[in-house]
């Protein structure tokens, strides 16, 4: 492998790695978004939902 083709290969691997990190971060975030809200937040949301004015 020539130095130039090695650089290209390294750049390709770098892009693949970064894409992989991106997928992992998005998957982690999506998992967090899917979590059920805890009771104290649900209660706050309920309060705000039924009384759309300043608490």
Partner 1 sequence: MNTANTAWAHEAILAEVPKLRAFAISLCGNLDQADDFVQETLLRAWTHIDQFQRGTNMAAWLFTILRNSLRSNYRKYRREIEDADGSYAERMITHPEQNGRLEFEELRGALAKLPSDQRETLILVVASGASYEEAAEICGCRVGTIKSRVHRARARLAQILAIDSVDDFAPDRTTQAVLRGAAG
2 lines the binding site for partner 1 (CB under 8 A): no
13 lines the binding site for partner 1 (CB under 8 A): yes
Q: In Å, how far from its chain's centre is CA 42? A: 22
Nearest distance, CB of residue 14 and partner 1, angstroms: 8
32 lines the binding site for partner 1 (CB under 8 A): yes
Q: In Å, how far from its chain's centre is CA 31? A: 8
- The HSE-up count of residue 25 (CA atoms within 13 Å, CB side) is 6
By the criterion CB under 8 A, which residues form the site for partner 1? 13, 16-18, 20-29, 31-35, 37-38, 40-41, 44-45, 48-49, 52-55
């Amino acid at each position: 492998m020539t130095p130039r083709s090695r650089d290209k290969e390294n750049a390709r691997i770098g892009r693949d790695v970064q894409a992989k990190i991106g997928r992992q971060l998005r998957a982690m975030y999506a998992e967090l978004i899917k979590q059920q809200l805890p009771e104290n937040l649900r209660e706050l949301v309920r309060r705000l939902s039924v009384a759309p004015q300043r608490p």
